[in-house]
């Protein structure tokens, strides 16, 4: 998979707001967690854009995102909670695209997608 082209404005925002003062992987993970928790306006509708073995979602499926998963679930990747076929599950945020969400929500999810797409890790 080709890496995304660098976006200096997005890099600066992520550096100054998501991973500011984060010196190790745990601090970067928690920085991202609180960055997203603060900016995502729940609930919001989203569409699954990619298949993941750890997720029951199918590409093209629409879901209602209800909140962030627990901090413990987000130590290696950002997960969000949703209702799916009468169950409550957590899925990777990277496989979801917001639909008609608040601008801050759309931007924050795009920031996470950018981070993942650039191949960055905690």
The residue among 116, 120, 63, 117 whose CA lies nearest residue 86 is 63
The strand order across the sheet containing 62-68 reads 87-92, 79-84, 62-68, 44-48, 96-99
The DSSP code for 16 is I
The domain ranges of the chain are 8-117
**Fold classification of 8-117 (topology level):** SH3 type barrels. (2.30.30)
Residues 10-52 pLDDT 10s: 999 999 999 999 999 999 999 999 999 999 999 999 999 999 9
Give the three-state DSSP class for 106: helix
How far is residue 62's CA from residue 72's CA, in Å, rounded to a whole number?
26
Q: Name the pTM for this structure.
A: 0.93
Residues 27, 60 contacting (CB under 8 angstroms):
no
| pLDDT of 109 | 98
Residues 60-114 pLDDT 10s: 999 999 999 999 999 999 999 998 888 899 999 999 999 989 999 999 999 999 9
């Amino acid at each position: 998979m080709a890496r995304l082209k660098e976006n200096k404005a997005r890099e600066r925002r992520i550096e100054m707001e998501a991973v500011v003062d984060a010196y190790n992987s745990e601090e970067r993970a928690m920085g991202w967690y609180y960055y997203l928790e603060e900016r995502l306006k729940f609930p919001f509708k989203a569409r699954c854009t990619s298949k993941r073995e750890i997720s029951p979602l199918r590409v093209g499926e629409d879901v209602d995102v209800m909140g962030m998963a627990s901090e413990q679930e987000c130590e290696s990747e950002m997960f969000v909670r949703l209702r799916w076929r009468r169950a409550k599950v957590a899925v990777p945020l990277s496989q979801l695209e917001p639909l008609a969400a608040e601008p801050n929500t759309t931007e924050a999810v795009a920031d996470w997608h950018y981070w993942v797409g650039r191949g960055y890790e905690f």
